[in-house]
Structure 1
Amino acid sequence: MVNQNSARGLFLAAVALFFMLNALRYPLGDLAHAGPGLFPLLLSGPLLAIALLMILQARLAAPVPLSFNLKNIALIMLGLVAFVMGAQLANAALGIVLMVFIAGFAAATYSWTRNLKIALGLIVVAYGFEHFLGLNLRLF
């Protein structure tokens, strides 16, 4: 039996190591003049530490059998596709709303008020990225 908690920690560790090793291929620079590899390296370190703690915790807790909910996986994938289509056809705000409301069906209970709050929060973050970082997101 594969332990779900162990698998979750191992997958997170694999993702962290992937980004960490690829970040080392780019110049790191220093904190005053960061290179393109510094940000992924700084994020992958704590992510790897969290993954190792998850693996340790999985060894101490009772094992949980690994299972997949294909309906939820399909809903999350459909939400991502809806985000891309909405952002391409109209703007990123529509894509965010479509993604959140479709992916919300994967939750144990569907709440349109929770989805609205999440969508508004993500739109505020995207607005900050667009105006403070100068990214061209075509938000509105």
Structure 2
Amino acid sequence: MINRSLARGFFLAAVALFFGLGALRYPIGRMDHAGAGMFPLMISVLLGIVALATIVRGIVAGGPPMTFTIKNIGLIIAALCAFSLVSRFVNMSVGIVVMVFISTAAGSSYSWKRNLAISAGLLAIAFAFQKFLGLNLPLL
């Protein structure tokens, strides 16, 4: 039976392979003059190394078995849909908070204090993206 560590490793490997192969469509360039494909290729290689280490850990150390809970999958999908709808009709700041409070109900323990801390951290990141990177995010 496949365990969570092994499944996580295979998923990371698939993501690394997908983006690594996509990066090869762009010019790589050289280390002193990088092309458009250099950064995604480097990140894919690093992610592939992490994936390989995770797969080895899953084989050697094992881990808890892989299980699927329909309720948790539904909660995560509902959180993403709620984020999209609230962001569209209210604003993204409220959407982030709603998403956090719904999605954390899928976990093993629920803490509104932790949810507020996670929401504050995500809002800080969103405001940093808006202010420092100039992204047009409807936060307020």
Name the SS for the 2:105 alignment partner.
helix
Identical-residue share of aligned pairs (%): 51
Inter-CA distance 107–43: structure 2 relative to 1 (3 Å threshold): same
Structure 2 unaligned spans of 5+? none
Between the aligned partners of 2:110 and 2:21, the Cα distance in structure 1 is: 39
Separation (CA, whole Å) in 1 of partners of 2:42 and 2:98: 32
TM-score normalised by the chain length of structure 2: 0.88
Structure 2 matches for 1:19-98, cutoff 5 A? 19-28=19-28, 36-62=36-62, 64-98=64-98
The worse-fitting range, judged by mean Cα deviation, of 100-109 and 28-37 is 28-37
The number of equivalent residue pairs is 140
Report which stretch shifted further, 21-30 or 86-95.
21-30
**Runs of 5+ consecutive residues of structure 1 not aligned to the other structure:** none
How large is the Cα RMSD of the aligned pairs?
Answer: 2.0
For 1:12, the aligned partner's letter is: L
Instruction: Return the letter of the residue paired with 1:21.
Output: L
CA distance in 2, matches of 1:33, 1:113: 47
The question of 1:134 aligning with 2:134 is answered yes
4+ long deviations beyond 4 Å: 28-36
Listed as ranges, the matches of 1:115-126 within 5 Å are 115-126=115-126
Question: What is the one-letter code of the residue matched to 1:79?
Answer: A
Letter in 1 for 2:22: N
Distance 2:85 2:32 in 1: 38
